[in-house]
Amino acid sequence: MIVAKQKDLEVIVGMLQGYERILVLGCGTCTAICLTGGDREVGILASSLRLADKVSGKNRLLKEHTVERQCEWEFLDEINDQVKEVDAILSLGCGVGVQAISERFPDIPVLPGLDTLFMGMPQEESVWVERCSGCGNCILDKTAGICPVTRCTKGLLNGPCGGTNNGKCEVDPEKDCAWTLIYQRLEKQGKLELFDEYHPPRNFQAVVRPGRFTIK
């Protein structure tokens, strides 16, 4: 899933200056799961903005809505009517969502209420961790299901480096050394021979930006 965090309220208030009718639009998929962009967060943000408006003597229209997924145009059809009534959309989706809405409604400014962080998973309550970089060249079969491109601070394909220290990384002692984890899991799986395999330098052309994928 895509993990994102909400921008500071001051930043959002600044972004909305000059707009009188605003649609706060949530996304019911990834950002709802990471508790930054679902129905509940839309309600909290819209309510906060209304309070800020009242304190400063403004009286703007703040509409609230959450679609199932912002990144697919089919799900955006349900806001066709609401978009006609507003002069800006504040998206609580990831960067893809913001751009999908903007492409679907090019006449209306679409503003990002979130900072999109990474692709990851929940590790414990309120904690999400990055697991995939979308490098386009997956080697998880060789690394016991642990991605060194993402989880090794240096992104090494052949590790560990000399900086591994009792299973922690020299760059950030709080972080686990991905290559130590890979070694330990390969050992558990009885596949340590994979550890000896040399991985040639990564093919950075596997995903040319901007990426495009067509099913043949």
> Which residues in this chain contact another protein in the complex, by CB under 8 A?
8-10, 40, 43-44, 47-48, 50-52, 54-57, 59
Phi and psi at residue 142, to the nearest 5°: -95, -10
Between 59 and 205, whose beta carbon lies closer to another protein?
A: 59
Is the Cβ–Cβ distance between 82 and 23 less than 8 Å?
Answer: yes
Token pair recorded at residue 20: 């009188």
Cis upstream peptide for 122 (omega within 30°): no
Three-class SS state of 119: strand
Q: What do you get for the CA distance between the two ends of the chain, in Å?
A: 25
- Residue 79: Cβ within 10 Å count: 21
Three-class SS state of 37: coil
Contacts of 134 (CB under 8 A, 6+ apart): 119, 207, 211
Between 56 and 205, whose beta carbon lies closer to another protein?
A: 56
Cis upstream peptide for 160 (omega within 30°): yes
Between 41 and 83, whose beta carbon lies closer to another protein?
A: 41
CA torsion through residues 194, 197, 201, 207, sign: negative
